[in-house]
Amino acid sequence: MPIKSRIRTIPHYPQTGVYFRDITTLLKDAAGFHLTIEKLAERYHSVPIDLVVGIEARGFILGAALAFALDKGFVPIRKKGKLPAATRSVDYALEYGVDSVEIHEDAIEPGQRVLLVDDLIATGGTMLAAVDLVEQSGGSVLECCFIVDLPEMGGSARLAERGLYCFALTQFESE
């Protein structure tokens, strides 16, 4: 059974007209979760990655498992106020306001090659903020990796405009 078929769609959540792609059904399926990490590890096995960086919260699950599979370190990017040591922060726009993400100042050493991981790419705002954090830290983003791309939301195109490549295991068109 393919990965896409293990992802639940919840219509009209969080608002009417939105089709939420819920990966928790994929994560609870042992074979599906294993297949997801296996496919990602196959892709990045021979890529010269120094660190895997995951975005809160589902990017932690995927990123940590992928880092383990690749024998690499893992770094979390968190929402503002969640990291205990000195941080650097980037604000980004949301439909309804502004949010912030942070990384520890010492999380990435200059020149380190980073794979950024999250569960899904929609508008790209969070991932672009994560890219900014990695670059401000002196790291270089090799690729942005997702389970799901929602191409009609424009996020992967926004990353491409920045010269970044997005890889997703599957994509969903609008309903």
Structure tokens at 146: 């997702």
Give me the CATH number covering residue 74: 3.40.50.2020
Q: Please report, as a single letter, which amino acid is at residue 158.
A: R
Q: Is 58 a catalytic residue?
A: yes
Please tell me the predicted confidence (pLDDT) of residue 175: 66
Quick check: is 128 in a domain? yes
Quick check: is 112 in a domain? yes
From the number of C-beta atoms within 10 Å of its C-beta (0-12, 13-18, 19+), residue 67 rates as buried
Please tell me the predicted confidence (pLDDT) of residue 114: 98
Mapping DSSP to helix (H, G, I), strand (E, B) and coil, where does residue 124 land? coil
Quick check: is 40 in a domain? no
Quick check: is 162 in a domain? yes
Quick check: is 2 in a domain? no
The dihedrals phi and psi of 3, each to the nearest 5 degrees, come to -60, -45
Quick check: is 15 in a domain? no
Domain that holds residue 60: 47-171
Which among 6, 8, 42, 58 is annotated as catalytic? 58
Mapping DSSP to helix (H, G, I), strand (E, B) and coil, where does residue 7 land? coil
Quick check: is 11 in a domain? no
Q: How far apart are CA 151 and CA 171, in angstroms?
A: 7
Domain count, the chain: 1
Quick check: is 125 in a domain? yes
DSSP-assigned beta bridge partners for residue 147: none
pLDDT tens over the chain, length 175 residues: 799 999 999 999 988 888 999 999 999 999 999 999 999 999 999 999 999 999 999 999 999 999 999 999 999 999 999 999 999 999 998 767 789 999 999 999 999 999 999 999 999 999 999 999 999 999 999 999 999 999 999 999 999 999 999 999 999 987 6
Please tell me the predicted confidence (pLDDT) of residue 72: 98
